Every structure is written in structure tokens, then in C-alpha cells.
A and B are shown apart, each in its own frame.
Chain A
Amino acid sequence: MTFTPHTESEVEAMLKAIDVERIEDLFQEIPEVFRFPDLDIPSKLTEIEILSELQEIASANATTDDMLCFLGAGAYDHYIPAAVDMLLRRGEFYTAYTPYQPEISQGTLQAIFEYQSLICALTGMDVSNASHYDGATAAVEAVILAYHFFRGKRKKVLLSRAVNPQYRQVIRTYTHGYEDLLITGDEQATPLKSDLESIKSQIDIDTALVLLQYPDFFGRIIDYASLIDAAHEAGALVAVAINPTALGMLTPPGELGADIVVGEGQPLGLPLSYGGPYLGLFATKSKYVRKIAGRLVGKTHDIDKQPAYVLTLTAREQHIRRDKSTSNICTNQGLMALASTIYMSLLGKQGFKQLANLCYQKAHYAAQQIDKLDGFEVVFIDTPFFHEFLVRCPKPVSMINLALQNYMILGGFDVSEDYPKLENHTLIAVTEKISKDQIDALCEALEEVAHD
């Protein structure tokens, strides 16, 4: 669609129709001093000039194409097959907006249906929506679902300390207005080692939801079976925040008894990007389908018995339920959901398993090698982990990461800000993109920068 501005005569006709003399008069409600401020910006440039200037500014940034990336903590540098972007940019798909009219949107609707089916297969759940903004906002929706499922009668939500600190922060921000809701369980005073026992001891009949992460924020694979049982015995729901890549080798949370699965979909073929767009995964058991937010596509048939796809169970949503809807989330990241669908389809079941295995093996090699370095220690070496692990360093992580930049290496995530007791601790992520030689290069660089 082209952009066609109004002509002067059209503007004049419109102003006349509403009996206003000048466009400026429409802004009278805004205090004059704020109305048309002088902007301190340079004079205009031609397209060629501005492109060159912007490219110069952009080239000051380094990307994961330039640097070796060991940074994860929720978003990961995986290889994205070229076909993902190629298919994604087809005109038929290139809109993130909701397909309200099924008669002209069968392709988009089918793609969303396939996305939901893939997420259900991956997580072991019955229903997936499509979708949320990112892992953090999907985690928030789990809290909101649980709160409304118990009609506000259960007022406690327990968060494991090993849930991504950003997710926990976003949950607190979103639920700020829920005055009777207590978000707790992740106090700094609780030692990480006794996190789960602490959570378990706090589960009671007032608990609406227990939120766990799998693998947890430190990459650890923990058997949550007894904790999930304890929550269910008290009548509470359990939500598990997952890394989808890890489910290529781990038991799906649905089989562990999770009621809700949320997660960051970025590892499924979306590029790393500050601020997104990412993709919030959200899946539940059928029992909760009436309480979930977001879009759901269902498969049915038309009057000729041909398969047909439609948006379904829309009475959950705010355009029908109005102020009684439990969430204001409607359309979300449709294009990103499509990208992840293409990515998963390209890899296939075997490819996805291989990917998980590669990440796992490479991360374990890296952990072994780093643990041998003088002054470095892999902290949870006896706990199973996936493709990320916590390392105690001989000096502040910020200093190490700064020095690693000289080697064109993007170091791990400095956890000391979120976990003050973990001073000098870094979280190292290793994906399939990293080679053995590159892991060895990281070890050499670490050895050098540690003892400068």
C-alpha cells in the first residue's frame, strides 16, 4: 500500500466540516510550551548521505557475526537457516496482524495452527496459544491465569530463585495492580542450594502457582517431580519456564505434570536483538483453555467438508469479554511465531534432537576445559546441565568481559547484579555454532585475561 498524504484542499474541507480554522487549533489542549518545540537536529541530508552516515554509526556496533558469543541467560546465538528469512518475507505472510477474516486468511491461520501443534508436541501440553511478546510476558500470563483460575481466592505465587531474574521482575511489574497478590519465594536470603526445599516448605492452600525454570537460569536440569507433586497436593498449579532447544533432549514438562509451560521462543530461529521482537511461548492442559490469553487457531471443516482454519474460543478475549477479560493480550508476534514454525519444520524431529545434543556436548566440553583453568571453577559441576553453566572467576566478570573484547569474544552473563552473593560469577552459554577450536580459544583468552 502506498502512502498518500492529504491534499491541501482535502485538509481544508475536513477542517471546514468540523468548524476549525487551522490544524494547530486541534492541539489547544496541549500546553503551548510543549506544542511545537524547536528540535535540535541537524539539517536534512539526501538518502545517499543519510545511508552512509547511519551505516557508519551502525558499524561501531559489533554483532555475533563479528564476535564469538558465549552470552546467553535467556537468549541464544543459534544458527538460523537462510530459508527462514526467505519464507518469512513472502508478501502473503508479511503481516503480524490477526487474521480475523478466515475466508481470506487460510494460509496464515494454517501456519499458526501448525505453530501451536509444534509447540504442543515439544512441550507435551494440549493447547498452545500464538503467542506472547517474549518469555517474560508469557511467564506473567501464567501468573494471571492461575490467579483467575482460583478466582482470586488463592493469593500466593511462588517463584524459584533460579527463574530468570528478568522474568521475575516483569512479573512484579505487570502484577503491580493486583493488590492482594503476593509474589514471593525468591528472597535473596535463600541459598540457591536450598531453593527448592524453601519453595516446597512455602506451598500451602493459599498458593495459586509455583513457577520453575527448566533448565533453570543457571542451565541446570533439575528433577522437579516431587516439587510438582507437592504443589498439586496443595491444589496449586505449576508453571515451568522452558528453553525450547533443551526440549530436544529433555522430558517434556507436560510429562512431568506441569499445568502451564511458558518460554522464550527466540532460540527457535529468531535473531538476537536488543528489545526483540522475540516470541513468548505459552501452552497449557485442556482444562485451562478457557482462561488463557491470546490467539488460538482451531481446525474445522467448511460446508463442503474441506479443512478450514478459524480463530476459536474468542469469547476469552477482550474484544468480547471487555472489562471482564483476564488479560489484555490479543495479537502477538505472529510473524515470529511463523519464523519459529519454519525453523522447527526445517530442522525436523531428528534435526532438533541433533541440535540439542550438539549444544549439550559442546557446553560440556567447554565446562570441562574451563574448570581446569587456574582460578576458574564450574560451580554446579555435579548437577546435570544443558548448554549453559555457572563459573566462578578469579576477578570481577565485568573486567574479564571487557578484556575478552580484545579477543573478539563476547563473554558470559555477569550474574552478580541479580545474585549479589555470586560475586565474580559468570554464566557461559555454548550453542551449536561454537566449534571445539573456538572453545579452546576462549580458554586461552580466559587464562590470559585472568592473570593480567
Chain B
Amino acid sequence: MQFPENLKYEKTDEWIKIDEELALVGISDFAQDQLSDIVYVEIAAELGDSISKGDTLGTVESVKAATDVNFPVSGEIVEINEALADQPEILNSDPYDKGWMIKIKLSDPSELEALMDANAYEKYCQER
């Protein structure tokens, strides 16, 4: 199970990778492992949408469950990973790199402070 140091994590198992005022969002290794084989990814947001922390980013369906993915921070959608529509299994094989789901422009960077770092998130996962 991987918990990259350079990411921040949300309790609902999303990760966020900051690059100045832009950020990539995806689901963690722990989340993909819990879900097992992912068969469908639906992104519920559209380019240009303004979203708030906690809004639904999309839905991930696996062979045994369907779960919502939420935005860990507020901002504006600047890019969507279109590859996931045809190859949802990327979320299983490469959740932290090719499996990014959405790129957003942060509107309130202070929201990042409420998220967990890799150590805290790893501990949080172990306790579940």
C-alpha cells in the first residue's frame, strides 16, 4: 500500500497534489484496493464549473460497490482525465499518477490545512 509523501489526503480517501495554484485530485491506493476491480468512472463535473469542498466529483463503480468521490477543496475545474472513461482500470493500476481524475484551480488554498499528510493518512487507514 502506497502513501506518497508529496500528497495531501481527505478522510473520504481522495488525494490532492498541489502545483502552485493548480491541483490534481484522485482516489488513494487504499480506496482502489477496498473497491477492488473498478469498471466505470463517471465524472460529475464539467470544465469551467465552480465547485466547493465536499461537492461530488464523480462516482466510481467496481464489481462490488459504487462510491462517490468528493472534492477535497474548492475551486474551478480546468481539466478532466478523459482516459478514465475508456480505461477505468487505471484507477487500480496507477491511482497516484495516470489515475488522476480532475485538475482544479484552487480558490481557497487555506482549505489544504485541514487535510492529512501521508503519515496521518496511513495511520488513519490502518485504524479502519
Contacts and interface: CB of A to CB of B under 8 A. Distances in A.
B107 interface: no
Contact of A315 (B44, B61, B68): B61
A208 B121 CA distance: 41
A290 B59 CA distance: 11
A315 B39 CA distance: 9
Contact of A321 (B39, B63, B66): B66
Contacts of B42: 290
Nearest to A320: B66
Nearest to B61: A315
B66 A324 contact: yes
Contact of A324 (B39, B40, B59, B62): B59
Contacts of B64: 320
How many interface residues does chain B have, given as a range?
Answer: 10 to 19
B127 to A, nearest CB: 24
A320 B64 CA distance: 7
A193 interface: no
Contacts of A301: none
A151 B44 contact: yes
Interface string B72-92: 000000000000000000000
Nearest to B45: A151
Looking at A151, A315, A320, A324, which has the most chain B CB atoms within 10 Å of its CB? Answer: A315
Interface string A297-324: 0000000000000000001000011001
B65 interface: yes
A37 B68 CA distance: 49
A8 to B, nearest CB: 44
Interface string B49-77: 00000000001011111101000000000
B65 to A, nearest CB: 6
A324 B44 contact: no
Interface of B: 39-40, 42, 44, 59, 61-66, 68
Given A315-B65, A320-B65, 15 more contacts: A151-B44, A290-B40, A290-B42, A315-B39, A315-B40, A315-B61, A315-B62, A315-B63, A315-B66, A320-B64, A320-B66, A321-B66, A324-B59, A324-B66, A324-B68
Closest 7 CB pairs of A and B: A315-B61, A321-B66, A315-B66, A320-B66, A151-B44, A320-B65, A324-B66
